[in-house]
Amino acid sequence: MAKSSSRGTRTRKKKADEVPKEMVPVYIMGKRYFVPAASTIMGALEYAGYQIKRGAGCREGFCGACATVYRTPKSYKIQYGLACQTVVEPDMYLAQLPFFPALKKVYDIEKLKPSTEVLSAIYPEINRCVACNTCTKACPQELEVMDYIQAAIRGDIEKVAHLSFDCIMCGLCAARCPAEIVHYNVGILARRLYGKYLAKLGEYLPARLKEIEEGKFDEEMKEIMSLSREKLEKRYYERDLDFQIT
């Protein structure tokens, strides 16, 4: 009986569950993939071969198009975030949200008045709020969503406008609300009412609007529109500002 020789090059058998260096396993649509450890959820989806045709916009966390839910292995809770900002974790389960219809009332802002009843009249479902705070917990912008809905119930248009100002309308609050409130539509109505009727006009606004109507900036806009992306970025970062960002 011939014996097998132990001489020659030794090889190592790779285990099926061995994790490549600087890669982490994630589950996308139930299938396991290895992706770079520092990837965002959006980057992981594309690295795994998924072509994102919808659910992606600015890729910078400002448009709200990439609302995502996920779970981690150590928690039974569903987590929320934007796919372009949230970094993957080992064994994370990922699922992007499809578009879902949300109640949006039709109104003529010119015919509305900034009364304490106007928000409840157009969106009466805000009165069903049970103050569970699920909307606030779901918000990737960390806005006090429940607080501005409570302000809307009281008819405090200014407070709703201020608290909802940074809303990117991703829809995660509405997706989780047991009272079926579409918070971001309430917020944008309040901001429209506040901007039209309650906010003080800037000192230079009327003069600047007149200059725009007279075409003062038309040539400058044509020049800007003709610039390449590289030159436009250079122009943007070299612009003079009358305030400092700290």
Question: Residue 83's domain is classified under what CATH number?
Answer: 3.10.20.740
Domain boundary among 59, 75, 96: 96
Of the candidates 39, 65, 96, which is a domain's last residue?
Answer: 96
In a domain, residue 159? The reply is yes
By the 8 A CB rule, do 183 and 175 touch? no
> What is the domain range of residue 209?
205-237
C-alpha span between 64 and 56 (Å, rounded): 8
**In a domain? residue 158:** yes
Residues 143 and 192 occupy one common structural domain: yes
User: Are both 128 and 71 inside the same structural domain?
Assistant: no
Would 43 be classed as within a structural domain?
Answer: yes
The residue among 32, 67, 96 that closes a domain is 96
191/209 same-domain check: no
User: What is the pTM for the complete model shown?
Assistant: 0.66
Query: Do 120 and 183 fall into the same domain?
Result: yes
Tell me, yes or no, whether 121 and 191 share the same domain.
Answer: yes
Q: Are residues 60 and 129 in the same domain?
A: no
Q: Residue 14 domain-assigned?
A: no
209 shares its domain with 189: no
Residues 29 and 59 placed together within one structural domain of the fold: yes
Residue 39 and residue 92 share a domain: yes
- Cα separation, 31 vs 10, in Å, equals 33
Number of domains in the chain: 3
Q: Please state, in angstroms and rounded to a whole number, the distance separating the CA atoms of residues 215 and 171.
A: 38
Predicted local distance difference test score (pLDDT) of residue 97: 65
> Which residues does 146 contact at the CB level (< 8 Å), separation at least 6?
129, 131, 132, 133, 135, 136
Do 128 and 182 share a domain, yes or no? yes
Helices (H) and strands (E) in the chain, counts: 10, 5
Closest CA to 164 of 115, 121, 126, 202: 126
What is the three-state SS of 69-128? Answer: EEECCCCCCCEEEECCCCECCCCEEEEECCCCCCCCCCCCHHHCCCCCCHHHHHCHHHHH
Residue 99's pLDDT is what? 59
Whether 210 is in a domain gets the answer: yes
**Which position has the token pair 């994630």?**
26
Residue numbers in the chain where pLDDT is lower than 50: 1-16, 245-246
Residues 6 or more apart whose Cβ sits within 8 Å of residue 236: none
Q: Which two tokens stand for residue 158?
A: 């200014």
**pLDDT tens, residue by residue, 15-63:** 445 555 699 999 998 899 999 999 999 999 999 998 887 777 788 777 8
Structural domain contains residue 81? yes
Query: Within this chain, do residues 52 and 80 fall inside the same structural domain, yes or no?
Result: yes
Whether residue 73 lies inside any domain: the answer is: yes
35-51: string of b/e by CB count within 10 Å (b at 16+)? Answer: bebebbbbbbbebbeee
Do 88 and 122 fall into the same domain? no
242 within some domain: no
Give the H or E element holding residue 35.
Answer: strand 31-36
pLDDT of residue 25: 94
